[in-house]
Copies of this chain bind each other. A is one copy, B any other.
Amino acid sequence: MTNAIRQSHLFTKTRKEAPTDEVSKNAQLLIRAGYIHKEMAGVYSWLPLGLRTFNNIVNVIREEMNAVGGQEVNMASLQDPEIWRITDRWDDEAVDAWFKTQLKNGTELGLGFTHEEPLARLMKDHVNSYKDLPKLVYQFQTKFRNETRAKSGVMRTREFVMKDLYTFARTQEEHDDLYERLAESYIKVFSRVGIGERTFKTFASGGVFSKYSHEFQTLTDAGEDTIYVSKEKGIAINEEVYTDEVLAEVGVSKDDLEQKVASEVGNIFSLGTKYAEAMGLQFKNEEGESTTPIMGSYGIGPARLMGVIAETLSDDKGLVWPEEVAPFRYHLVVLDNGNEEVKDDAERIFLEMKERGISVLYDDRNVRAVEKFADADLLGIPKRVIVSEKTLASGEYELVARATGSSSFVHEQDLYNK
């Protein structure tokens, strides 16, 4: 699909009611707007408008990962049990999220739910010396997780694309520096996709190699986590580590904190040498000694993010997308009432926008104004441009902001400059 399309060309239709078996608000809205299709519980397909929105989120994340030096790869879903046995993550007793399958000869395979093991193994072919490090490697890759329940729409599904980035550092200091850079890049991502103000870097449980990990939690009633937030200090603590000891370390008191429901939109982990050691990944340091790199892993689920945006920014009329996320920037709506001059004027503006590479969905359908407006509200494109007999007479076009409903009248040239 190009960047300027006619609504009459779109194969998707909106619908008044969501399917009765769909309980989550994000999926209800996304299905009604024709952004996604439910295949079965916890499994959705992306339709044209949904895929465009999803890809915009992916591109924001990609830009920020590239900005910190990330290199993009795409690893296989099918997993060799051998390497997962080494880290004791193959057994269903140890990891209960596996989907498993098998080759015709009966060899068991897994469908990857994360990629520490295969990436550490892969890096053995490319890392020899301290000169080869540090490195940041990431992918947008389809994960499979055998969720027992899946009732949160696109926020928790059995098959989903995850951006997972992995860092390989020579020293703890270098790792700590990368970890901070990634944390900062995550904050930029959440800000760009419009949920920065309600998203908090949150202390969560660590592991053997670090006391804490960090989650990025967005306040929403659709969330599954409980966190304690200090909006003033801009920090939060997951209830799993909400103890007097941790409060003292973080430097907040219970009085500063508010209990909130939130959804985890990203997480960052220090992995220490666990996976690199298990896979035999080593490098020669400046003294020529074999050394194990320190790894970190950093995840964001773009679909989870899209669901959270839908949950938190939508209103009772429908979806409301921030500029960087919206499937189109402009929604050009013609109210021609059979007036050919009005139709021609809208057509002309559409072609001018198309020519200029402006992202626009043009509602050229032969339906009533009330239906066009209801659909435009449901689709949630940020800026609506209305072309009607009134605008034709005045020589100005009505520009309506979806988020606020505020309306202004602008000259044609202003549509192209923005």
- A residues apposed to B, CB below 8 Å: 1-2, 9-13, 15, 34, 37, 39-40, 43-48, 51, 54, 66, 69-80, 96, 99-104, 109, 111, 118, 122-123, 125-127, 132, 135, 137, 142, 144, 146, 148, 158-159
Q: Are A122 and B48 in contact (CB under 8 A)?
A: no
Name the contact of A45 in the complex, choosing from B1, B2, B75, B102 (C-beta under 8 A): B75
Q: How many copies does the complex hold?
A: 2
Q: Are B44 and A76 in contact (CB under 8 A)?
A: yes
Chain B residues with CB under 8 Å of A76's CB are: 39, 43-45, 159
Name the contact of A71 in the complex, choosing from B1, B45, B75 (C-beta under 8 A): B1
A158 to B144, CA, bound (A): 16
A73 to B132, CA, bound (A): 39
Name the contact of A39 in the complex, choosing from B15, B39, B80 (C-beta under 8 A): B80
Interface of chain A, main secondary structure: mixed
Chain B residues with CB under 8 Å of A10's CB are: 71
Name the contact of A122 in the complex, choosing from B45, B70, B80, B137 (C-beta under 8 A): B45
| With A10-B71, A78-B158, A99-B101 already in contact, 11 other A-B pairs whose C-beta atoms are closer than 8 Å | A1-B71, A11-B123, A11-B127, A34-B126, A39-B79, A45-B118, A48-B73, A51-B72, A77-B144, A100-B101, A111-B111
Q: Are A118 and B73 in contact (CB under 8 A)?
A: no
Q: Are A125 and B37 in contact (CB under 8 A)?
A: yes
Closest to A47 in B: B73
